[in-house]
């Protein structure tokens, strides 16, 4: 069974590429982030024609998450239970469902903007709410994973030049401690193998030729419980999908399971 996580940076802009990638990759379940559309605008019919059911949490121009599955979609929970609000609303940043033999969450963690910004404090509150929300699924007997764009680089090895990130978000001790607290709920990170370079980055800014120079970050992550990680046979970043015209600034992260 093949699952993946992918920040598409607008599903409407990326739809032709996404449909082609789903077919060529043979992905069974896809966790999507940054749909940048309303639920009504989500291309559920086009995806249904490609063989995928959809569960969507999306409200407008920014954010938005989804789950696509061709192995079943049940017990959908839309939103982050107990999640904090920002500017008076709970943003569409989480969705979970049972997909065949798996329980999966697709999450899009707040960016944080700057360490002194309220959005950074909101990010830490959001990660703490995520830790509490996934605890029951993590402790269950069903293979379970939370995947998505965490907007946190777990170690200095996960950014192309750590010196450039000093004092910035994505690498602070508090953010990394939040990931460690998530793992303490009985989850382990699934590390993708690099396919070309020695570091498996998942995001490259569009500016300054960052992608061809491989000046990236690894912020799209997978955390699974013991039944999930025991089934993992391979994981990699599909760097090819970041190439060419109309690509997202993220690449899909693929996880192959023997279930």
Give me the residue label for tokens 């007997």: 141
Does the annotation flag 149 for ligand binding? Answer: yes
Number of domains in the chain: 1
CA-to-CA dists, residue 136 to 4, 31, 133, 142, 242, angstroms: 22, 20, 7, 11, 35
H helix or E strand, kind and range, residue 103: strand 102-108
Does the annotation flag 158 for ligand binding? Answer: no
Of 28, 149, 158, 238, the catalytic one is 149
- Tokens representing 114 are 């700057």
Cα–Cα nearest to 258, from 236, 234, 233 = 233
User: Rounded to an integer, what distance in angstroms lies between the CA atom of residue 76 and that of residue 96?
Assistant: 6
Q: Pairing mode, if any, of strands 2-7 and 29-33?
A: parallel
User: Rounded to an integer, what distance in angstroms lies between the CA atom of residue 20 and that of residue 18?
Assistant: 5
Q: Establish whether 149 is a catalytic residue.
A: yes
For position 250, what pLDDT does the model report? Answer: 98
CATH code where residue 34 lies: 3.60.10.10
For position 170, what pLDDT does the model report? Answer: 98
Q: Establish whether 108 is a catalytic residue.
A: yes
Does the annotation flag 9 for ligand binding? Answer: no
Which residues lie closer than 8 Å to 212 by C-beta, 6 or more apart?
Answer: none
Q: Pairing mode, if any, of strands 188-189 and 94-99?
A: unpaired
For position 137, what pLDDT does the model report? Answer: 96
Supply the range of the domain harboring residue 203.
2-257
Of 108, 120, 122, 201, the catalytic one is 108
Model-level pTM greater than 0.85? Answer: yes
Written as tens digits, the pLDDT of the chain (259 aa) is 999 999 999 999 999 999 999 999 999 999 999 999 999 999 999 999 999 999 999 998 889 999 999 999 999 999 999 999 999 999 999 999 999 999 999 999 999 999 999 999 999 999 999 999 999 999 999 999 999 999 999 999 999 999 999 999 999 999 999 999 999 999 999 999 987 788 899 999 999 999 999 999 999 999 999 999 999 999 999 999 999 999 999 999 999 999 9
Q: Establish whether 170 is a catalytic residue.
A: no
Does the annotation flag 250 for ligand binding? Answer: yes
Give me the residue label for tokens 């990170």: 189
Cα–Cα nearest to 64, from 36, 29, 104 = 36
């Amino acid at each position: 069974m093949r699952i993946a996580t992918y920040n598409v940076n607008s599903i409407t802009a990326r739809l032709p590429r996404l449909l082609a990638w789903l077919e060529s990759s043979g992905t069974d379940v896809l966790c999507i982030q940054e749909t940048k559309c309303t639920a009504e605008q989500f291309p559920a019919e086009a995806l249904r024609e490609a063989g995928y059911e959809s569960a969507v949490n999306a409200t407008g121009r920014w954010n938005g998450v989804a789950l696509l599955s061709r192995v079943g979609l049940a017990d959908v929970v839309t939103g982050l239970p107990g999640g904090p609000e920002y500017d008076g609303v709970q943003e569409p940043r989480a969705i979970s469902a049972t997909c065949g033999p798996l329980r999966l969450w697709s999450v899009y963690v707040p960016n944080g903007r700057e360490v002194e910004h309220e959005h950074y404090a909101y990010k830490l509150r959001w990660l703490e709410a995520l830790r509490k929300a996934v605890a029951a699924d993590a402790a269950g007997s069903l293979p379970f994973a939370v995947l998505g764009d965490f907007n946190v680089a777990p170690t200095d090895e996960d950014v192309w030049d750590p010196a450039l990130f000093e004092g910035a978000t994505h690498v602070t001790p508090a953010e990394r401690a939040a990931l460690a607290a998530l793992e303490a709920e009985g989850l382990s990170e699934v590390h993708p193998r690099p396919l070309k370079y020695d570091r498996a980055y998942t995001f490259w800014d569009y500016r300054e030729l960052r992608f061809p120079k491989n000046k990236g970050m690894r912020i799209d992550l997978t955390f699974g419980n013991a039944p999930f990680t025991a089934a993992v046979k391979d994981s990699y970043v599909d760097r090819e999908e970041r190439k060419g015209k109309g690509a997202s600034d993220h690449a899909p992260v693929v996880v192959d399971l023997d279930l």
